[in-house]
Amino acid sequence: MPSPNAIPLVGLDVPGKAVRIERPLLKFVREQVLFRDLKGLRPTATATTDPLALQMERAVTTLTEAHLRTEEANERRRFEKEKPKDVEDLYTGALFEKLCFLTSTSQDRTDELPGLYSRIAQQKKKESLHSIIQQTIDDHAQKFDMIEGPIVSTGSMQLFKTLRFQGVDEQDLGSGILPMSLTPPGAVSSQARAQLIEHNENALTYDFMMSTDGQQISSGDAKLLSKTKGYVPTEWSEAKAQVEAYQPVVTAILGELHPTALEYIRAVKYASTIFLSLKQALEDKVGRKQAPAVYSYIFHSSMHGWFREQYHTRYPVPPPELVNDFRRFSMRKNLEWLPNISDIESIRTLGQVEAPIAPRSPTKKTTAAATNSGIGTRVVNPFWDGRFKLDNAFCTVVKEKAARKIIGAAKACGKIFPMTADGKERCITWHAKGYCGASCKQAYDHKELETPELKDTLYEFVRAGCT
């Protein structure tokens, strides 16, 4: 008889589907409670001595227990499969430490990590990694009043799992998740439009591949999707758009309040306040063709260096001093802090122009003019100083101004005319313009200058004469 002092418990207020009870608990209730405490409910054992019946009874018992164990194992697998994955399930061991150092997050406060990483960790089957990353970047882009964020190339997707955002090599601008690895959204140049179309097509192919488990994609397409390609802007509008487009990317990777993300955003704003003077200074320094690319590369190289150092360091690395560099220029018009582009072929070659070459078959008129001038057949200088090849205002003056006027203006500025070792005059046309006539009076100087110091001396002389 139940105790008169027992307190009844309500299992369900409204009749309907009962609350699910786990199998081990149900078995315990049935065997250990009902059958033990309420002996009248215990099944009556049927005694038998028939060997065949006993064998069948044992077989049924074995099958029942095996079935129960299988059901319990399946239930555990379903539970583990449906259980939301944690960031530590994807980023394990040393990689999890790198993620915490990268984002300046305590290892025991994973809930403070940027949301991008939990979304990646909880990626479902047939869900595209690209769509997860792109949607996160687009969400951050709206906070910067952008309609959409830049498209991250499909070849860079795995970097979000390996955390090697610096890429493989600084010279490969498409390697990594950096400003110049992105094509500025909304760019109108033919090259930018073609690259944006390619990125979109690759993204669609990648998403389709993930939705079909990669069963309907060729090896050629797979190889194409793994390639990375940077974008070198040649227009100022594209350079500014490229630099600004990286803001939602860096906040998605590091978090909105990360010191490096905040430094980058402040640098973009500060650069915009001095943009006109900085633009003119860069054009004078490296030429009109290279200047937009160098502007983007200032931000690109700083972020590359920071990501590289942070990846190999076991503590949070201070942010790059981008704002201080721009302040230095604003206060003293100093550009000595510019990154070196001599090893970045895609930028360095933008400023190179070919030396003027004589017509292949000169007319009688040009031949007579050359003969009367006394210089004869035009010869190209193979040792032409690269500083005279740039596409800027100074080099344009060198090209158009007569050599004698350059010499006169330089002497008027107090510059000493450069001479050869044996006291003869040097040929300004040959060294500064990159060509001269075979019958020139200074043809003896039609050769490479002997030392870098001589090149600098002649360059300064010509610059004084063209200012």
Same domain, 339 and 386: no
pLDDT higher than 90, residue 142: yes
Domain assignment of residue 3, yes or no:
no
**pLDDT band at 108; cut points 50, 70, 90:** confident
pLDDT of residue 282: 93
**pLDDT band at 374; cut points 50, 70, 90:** very low
pLDDT higher than 90, residue 89: no
Domain assignment of residue 55, yes or no:
no
Q: Rounded distance, CA 96 to CA 98, Å?
A: 5
DSSP string, 376-405: -SEEE-TT--GGGSSSSHHHHHHHHS-HHH
Same domain, 325 and 402: no
DSSP conformation class of 425: B
Same domain, 423 and 345: no
DSSP string, 28-91: HIIIIIIHHH-GGGSPPP-----HHHHHHHHHHHHHHHHHHHHHHHHHHHHHHHHSPPPHHHHS
Same domain, 149 and 277: yes
150 and 183 in contact (C-beta within 8 Å)? yes
pLDDT of residue 370: 42
Average pLDDT value over all residues in the chain: 80
Same domain, 192 and 228: yes
pLDDT of residue 368: 43
**pLDDT band at 95; cut points 50, 70, 90:** very high
Same domain, 304 and 433: no
Give the pTM: 0.60
pLDDT of residue 419: 82
Range of the domain at 152: 93-212+219-350
425 and 366 in contact (C-beta within 8 Å)? no
The conformational region for residue 365 under phi > 0 = left, psi -120 to 50 = alpha, else beta, is alpha
Same domain, 134 and 194: yes
pLDDT higher than 90, residue 138: yes
Identify which has the larger pLDDT, 133 or 202.
133
Half-sphere exposure of 84 (CA within 13 A, CB side): 5
Domain assignment of residue 169, yes or no:
yes
- pLDDT tens digit string along 33-48? 665 666 665 556 556 6
What are the φ and ψ backbone dihedral angles of 55, each rounded to 5 degrees? -65, -45
DSSP conformation class of 357: -
User: Which of 191-205, 236-250, 436-450 has the lowest average pLDDT?
Assistant: 191-205
Domain assignment of residue 192, yes or no:
yes
263 and 212 in contact (C-beta within 8 Å)? no
- pLDDT tens digit string along 308-332? 999 999 888 999 999 999 999 999 8
Domain assignment of residue 408, yes or no:
yes
Same domain, 279 and 391: no
pLDDT of residue 19: 54
| pLDDT average, residue stretch 141-164 | 89
- pLDDT tens digit string along 283-308? 988 888 899 999 999 999 999 999 99
pLDDT of residue 356: 44
Same domain, 319 and 414: no
pLDDT higher than 50, residue 364: no
Domain assignment of residue 1, yes or no:
no
pLDDT of residue 317: 93
Identify which has the larger pLDDT, 417 or 276.
276
Domain boundary among 301, 331, 350: 350
Number of domains in the chain: 2
Residue 81: CB partners within 8 Å, gap ≥ 6? none
Closest CA to 152 of 128, 125, 127: 128
Domain assignment of residue 313, yes or no:
yes
Same domain, 313 and 389: no
Domain assignment of residue 418, yes or no:
yes
pLDDT of residue 29: 65
Tokens of 228: 């990375």
User: Which of 18-22, 25-29, 102-106, 383-387 has the lowest average pLDDT?
Assistant: 18-22
User: Which of 203-212, 225-234, 379-388 has the lowest average pLDDT?
Assistant: 203-212
Same domain, 235 and 124: yes
241 and 184 in contact (C-beta within 8 Å)? yes
188-194: long-range contacts (C-beta < 8 A, 24 or more apart)? 189/234, 189/235, 189/238, 191/231, 191/234, 192/231, 192/233, 192/238
User: Which of 55-69, 104-118, 312-326 has the lowest average pLDDT?
Assistant: 55-69
Residue 1: CB partners within 8 Å, gap ≥ 6? none
| pLDDT average, residue stretch 361-377 | 48
pLDDT of residue 197: 76
User: Which of 38-47, 146-155, 424-433 has the lowest average pLDDT?
Assistant: 38-47
Same domain, 108 and 234: yes
**pLDDT band at 416; cut points 50, 70, 90:** confident
Q: Rounded distance, CA 348 to CA 340, Å?
A: 10
